[in-house]
Amino acid sequence: MTADVDSERSGAGPAEGPDEAPGRVRDRAPGAESGGYEVFRDAWGIPHLRAADALTLARAQGRATALDRAWQLETERHRVLGTSASHLGPEAVEWDRFVRRARIADTARRCFDRLAPETAAWVTAYVDGVNEGLAEGAGRTPEFAAVGLAPGRWEPWTPLGVWLSTHILFAGFPTKLWREEVARRLGEDLMTLFATDGPGTAGSNGWLLTGARTATGAPLLAGDPHRFIEDPGVYQQIRLACPEFDVVGLAVPGIPGIAHFGHTGHVAWAITNAMADYQDLYRERLRRTPDGGVEALGPDGWYRAHAHTETIEVAGAEPEQVEVIETDRGPVIIGSDPGTGGRGEAADGAPADGTFISLRYPPRVTGELGFDALPALLRARTVADVDTALDRWVEPVNVVLAADTAGSTLHRVAGHVPVRPYANRLRVVPAEDPAYAWHEGETLLLPRTGAGGSDGIAVMANERGLAAPLGVEFAPPHRARRIRELLGAGSDWTPDAQAAVHTDTLLASSRPLLSLLARTSGLGPAAGRLRDRLLSWDRHMDADSTDATLYARLRTDVVHRLAAHPALKGVTGEDDPWRSPAYPALFRPWLAAVPRIGYALESLLTVGLLPDDDRVALVAAAAEAVAAAAEETPPAPWGELHRLSPWQALPDLTSDGPDAEAIRPGVAGDHDCVLSTSSVPGITDLFARGPAARYVWDLARREDSRWAVPFGASGVPGSAHHRDQTPLWVRGALAPVVTDWNLLHRTSHDRTPHHPEESPAMTAATEPVAPALRAAVHEQKIEGFGTVRLVPVDPAADAELLHGWVTEERARFWGMADHTREQVREIYAFVDSLPTHHAYLALRDGVPAALFQTYEPDADPVGECYDVQPGDFGVHLLIAPAEGEGAVKGYTEALLAAFIGYVFSDPAHLRVVVEPDARNDKAIARMVRVGFELGPEIQKPEKTARLAFLTRAALGLA
């Protein structure tokens, strides 16, 4: 297909017409004059980038991301700086206050300064690309105009800030606040009563099949990261290729390279959250000094802490002040003014009353974020290479699976987990007690092993498995067990078959509630029917299941009855932690009791917190209530209630209208299903967490790999690829990973949205057919050059390609330098309507290399300028812009040989006629060298032309 190219020929001046070296349409980027790159798109608009070196490729990645995701990038930049409220208003103040207090931007600067020089240059190149593309990308995106925002400038350290702000809550340190409250309110022995996969973590799946389990005999690696789903998506499908590497994978917008999920053609890797605990909270004692400073109490007594004040600008409201305080443990993220009565000194120099809590996290302590691993991953060719690269990993701590084409496998944990007392993992610890200090310079030894074992299956699903020594709370084991059960049923797995695992909806965690329901007695008729119905239910949370809806209703009612039970009043009453003024509103989702009860329902219904009779009675009462409601209002299918509710910085722009269904589709699954679409039991059936992407990496043939994201490749509302993957994502289908450059094309941003299915090939009914897929009128193999195919121009599909060619300075003699894309399309649509004129793309090995037009002179204005002879056949030639790797000696002559071969394949054609601009000395000289005989100059309305003729006899064909 055609290419969106950003490439320049080095070491050569401008050429004209047929003398120009070959290439593809160029979409020039500032600074591309040396070391250019190419941007291709597949049928889903996924960018495939190719460059001469890794630094240029990084710049290309930055620019392509800015064009596709400008609003997302600007949103992330403001989140790093704590300036979101300046355009989003008061709702963003809590986040801005947190990231300023946590010193995210300053930590990112520190970590950038410690990067290896080559990594720093690579990250900087990416940032240069972002800055090149942001203005253009912003111009395509309505959100900027909606809030009156102009894109800002990225700094070299900004990607590190984006990574840190994205993952700072991944380890779920606010859970320690919840445990602290549970211990205080319910007793120390119940501190971990609600242990489960909490609101701040993710429910990702990943699995590896060794060759013994696959149809090809080579490994398969598949899975889906379950995160809070954002619009645009948190993962960006992309391909990055240069002489050193060629990698497809899921990138994080704003971050160079491919960190989490990638396939280099030789080795593939994937991650899930390890559920490790590596961030600590310290209870600080602070006091104000007479000069307005702040002192903190440490193991060695009182000392001066860092303190300064920043201003948060708020759209539509008054600015807010935030005091940034940092102790020897870390930044103080919870607590108000350490002084009493404003900024004055505390009475008698005593510590201020109140809660002050600091956060200690590895990047702030070590100045390392792990970015040096990213370029090493791109260059990996074996499992050993991946393993070595991940030794540099820091944040977040992940479980990794990897496999290579030789059949080697890896299962390990990667990241930085500090050595400190176990109590630090559980709760807030006193800052002044040296017993809770980190063992500086030490990190826990992270587990690693081969993957697959004796059964050829390895699974990672946030369960208490390989990473068990590193954490406190893990996901329930249901997903991991179910994945292993499904995979164990076959030994000839293929990439396409993985969808059955991705979309499995068995809810194993329903067993305790249904077991209690089975033990109820004395139910009314309606409740009895409900009980019988749910006990015969297959426990699958399918989108079309009304039984699933009834179960969800029963679960919700049980959660609320548990919350009202006297045994839990300590954390659900009027003084529950949600209402505590001591904690910022940002952390309240971790402190809300009803969601905590909902997520921990399975354990709360089995442990001895409530007497057994109370549990059965509670479920019976819930069954009566749900049955009565169902008699009055029959349940809707689960998929009508269980809808996606993604995070959007400006939801009002897209919350209504025809796009609403694409944003909030109904989906199967539930929290503990393999299809982990996590609603909040007891609160809502909507879900915000789910598969942020799906992937299948095939180590036999990379082109048989598969992937999909919730929305699409583009973050530009209204573009063809803004929502086109949503139907795939909803039903669990996957798009192919295209690796053949000949099957790629440039996708216009103004095309009508389409919904191709599993194949990138597009029919005329839904999308213009790509050049490489069109039937050729002529095909000729030229030794040492390749195969040349002539295919008809499609005016609509090729307008952007041709516009890029004909408006170049080097093509000024073509006469279309000032034409718009639409004008070019109209011209070639007119040519296409004529029976006497034809336009073709010349493809060299499937890649567009030239424009070749033919005409009958007696039906063309040129026929009025000379004596047309029988058998004359006119041609126009335009060689595409140059690219370094294609500029081989004899390039134009080889193309001309194919063109002439096509013309003279028709015996009726006796003489070829060309009419280059008389000023185009290079083109005329080229014609003479090929064998054309020069004719007279002629005067045409648009130019003075020089005729030239080539006869069959001159080529010995007569």
Q: For 25-36, what is the HEC assignment?
A: CECCCCCCCCCC
**pLDDT averaged per 10 residues, the chain (length 958):** 28 30 30 62 91 95 95 96 94 95 97 97 97 92 88 96 93 90 88 64 83 96 92 94 96 96 97 94 96 95 96 95 96 83 41 81 95 97 96 95 95 95 95 94 79 87 91 91 95 95 96 96 95 97 97 96 90 77 86 89 86 94 96 93 88 56 84 92 89 96 95 87 90 92 60 33 43 83 86 90 85 83 89 91 85 91 90 90 52 86 90 90 85 90 88 82
The DSSP output letter for 436 is G
What CATH number is associated with residue 881? 3.40.630.30
Q: What are phi and psi of 917, to 5 degrees?
A: -55, 135
Q: Which domain holds residue 620?
A: 508-539+546-636
Question: So what's the pLDDT on residue 653?
Answer: 60
Before 396, cis peptide (omega within 30)? yes
Q: Which of 306, 338, 360 is the last residue of a domain?
A: 360
Q: Are both 876 and 931 inside the same structural domain?
A: yes
What CATH number is associated with residue 95? 1.10.439.10
Query: What secondary structure does DSSP assign to 188-247, as a single string?
Result: GGGTTTT-SS-TTS---EEEEE-GGGBSSSS-EEEEE-EEE-BSS-S-EEEEEEETTEEE
Question: Within 10 A of 908 (CB to CB), how many other CB atoms are there?
Answer: 8
Q: What are phi and psi of 924, to 5 degrees?
A: -65, -45
End-to-end Cα, the chain, rounded Å: 37
798 lies in some domain = yes
Angle at 140 between CA 135 and CA 141, to 5 degrees: 95
Q: Are both 834 and 927 inside the same structural domain?
A: yes
66 lies in some domain = yes
SS3 414: strand
Question: So what's the pLDDT on residue 88?
Answer: 92
101 lies in some domain = yes
Q: In angstroms, what CA-CA distances link 889 with 572, 781, 885?
A: 79, 17, 11
Q: Are 413 and 373 in contact (CB under 8 A)?
A: no
Question: So what's the pLDDT on residue 352?
Answer: 61
468 lies in some domain = no
Beta-strand runs (E) in 594-751: 678-680, 684-691, 694-698, 706-708, 735-736
Who contacts 489 (Cβ-Cβ below 8 Å, separation ≥6)? none
561 lies in some domain = yes
Q: Are both 846 and 785 inside the same structural domain?
A: yes
Query: What secondary structure does DSSP assign to 29-63, as a single string?
Result: -TTTTSS-EEEEE-TT--EEEEESSHHHHHHHHHH
Question: So what's the pLDDT on residue 493?
Answer: 96
Q: Which of 306, 331, 360 is the last residue of a domain?
A: 360
d(C-alpha 340, C-alpha 53), whole Å: 59
Q: Are both 23 and 131 inside the same structural domain?
A: no
424 lies in some domain = no
Residues found in the chain: 958
d(C-alpha 56, C-alpha 241), whole Å: 10
Q: Are both 65 and 34 inside the same structural domain?
A: no
Q: Are both 39 and 109 inside the same structural domain?
A: no
Split into its structural domains, the chain has a count of 4
Q: How is residue 455 written in tokens?
A: 């059964």
91 lies in some domain = yes
Q: Are 410 and 403 in contact (CB under 8 A)?
A: yes
Who contacts 270 (Cβ-Cβ below 8 Å, separation ≥6)? 206, 221, 222, 223, 260, 261, 400, 401, 402, 695, 697
Q: How is residue 776 written in tokens?
A: 């050729």
Question: So what's the pLDDT on residue 896?
Answer: 87
Q: In angstroms, what CA-CA distances link 137 with 69, 70, 134, 181, 896?
A: 7, 5, 5, 46, 39
d(C-alpha 206, C-alpha 263), whole Å: 15
Q: Are both 154 and 296 inside the same structural domain?
A: no
Q: Are 394 and 370 in contact (CB under 8 A)?
A: yes
Q: Are both 22 and 135 inside the same structural domain?
A: no
Q: Are both 21 and 110 inside the same structural domain?
A: no
Q: Are 362 and 396 in contact (CB under 8 A)?
A: no
Q: How is residue 654 written in tokens?
A: 């897209």
Q: Are both 790 and 886 inside the same structural domain?
A: yes
Question: So what's the pLDDT on residue 619?
Answer: 96
What CATH number is associated with residue 356? 2.30.120.10
Q: In angstroms, what CA-CA distances link 803 with 255, 355, 404, 673, 800?
A: 32, 64, 43, 50, 5
Q: Which of 134, 167, 200 is the last residue of a domain?
A: 167
Q: Are 759 and 736 in contact (CB under 8 A)?
A: yes
Q: Are both 36 and 103 inside the same structural domain?
A: no
Q: Are 896 and 18 in contact (CB under 8 A)?
A: yes
Who contacts 4 (Cβ-Cβ below 8 Å, separation ≥6)? 25, 27, 38, 39, 40, 41, 746
d(C-alpha 608, C-alpha 845), whole Å: 71
Q: In angstroms, what CA-CA distances link 527 with 621, 625, 626?
A: 9, 8, 8
Q: Are both 22 and 57 inside the same structural domain?
A: no
Question: So what's the pLDDT on residue 197?
Answer: 44
207 lies in some domain = no
Question: So what's the pLDDT on residue 309?
Answer: 96
Who contacts 21 (Cβ-Cβ below 8 Å, separation ≥6)? 9, 12, 15, 879, 882, 883, 886, 887, 891, 892
